[in-house]
Amino acid sequence: MAVNHADGQLILSVPLYPIVAGVGAAHAGAGWFTVLFIPIGLAIGLGICFVGRPVVYSIMGFGLSRSSKIHNRGIQTIAVLPFFILYMILPIAFACGGLVGVWAGSVWLVRHFL
C-alpha cells in the first residue's frame, strides 16, 4: 500500500508525541506523574494528524483546481509550483509545530500545576 507525502509525514509523527510529552514532563520534574502525560500526548498527536491532513489536502486541491483551467503546460506548472511547495512543507511544519507545542505544553503544565 502506497502512502503519499502528507499522510506519511503526519502519521509517522504520531508515535513521537507521547515520547515528547513524557520527556517534557520529566524534564520539568513531574516524577511519576510523567506516565499521565503519555496517553495525552498520543491523543494530541492523533488530533493533529486528523486536523492537519485535510488542511494540507485543501491547499493542494485549491492549486490543482485552478491550474486545471490553464491549457498551456508551462504556465500550468508555474501556477501549481507554489502549492506543491506548500504541500511538501506543511506536513512537516504541522508535525514539528505539534511536537514543540506538546513539549512546551507538558513543561508548562508540570511547572504550573504540579
> Could you report the per-residue pLDDT of 38-76, keeping only the tens digit for each?
999 999 999 999 998 998 888 888 888 888 888 898 888
* Domain extent for 90: 5-113
Among the listed residues 55, 49, 61, 64, the one whose alpha carbon sits nearest the alpha carbon of residue 7: 49
Rounded to the nearest angstrom, the gap between the alpha carbon of residue 80 and the centroid of all alpha carbons in its chain is 22
pTM of the model: 0.88
Mean per-residue pLDDT for 24-32?
Answer: 95
Q: How far is it, in rounded angstroms, from Cα 90 to Cα 3?
A: 16
Number of domains in the chain: 1
DSSP code string of 49-112? HHHHHHHHHHHHHHHHHHHTT---HHHHHHHHHHHHHHHHHHHHHHHHHHHHHHHHHHHHHHHH
Q: Quick one: pLDDT at residue 1? A: 63
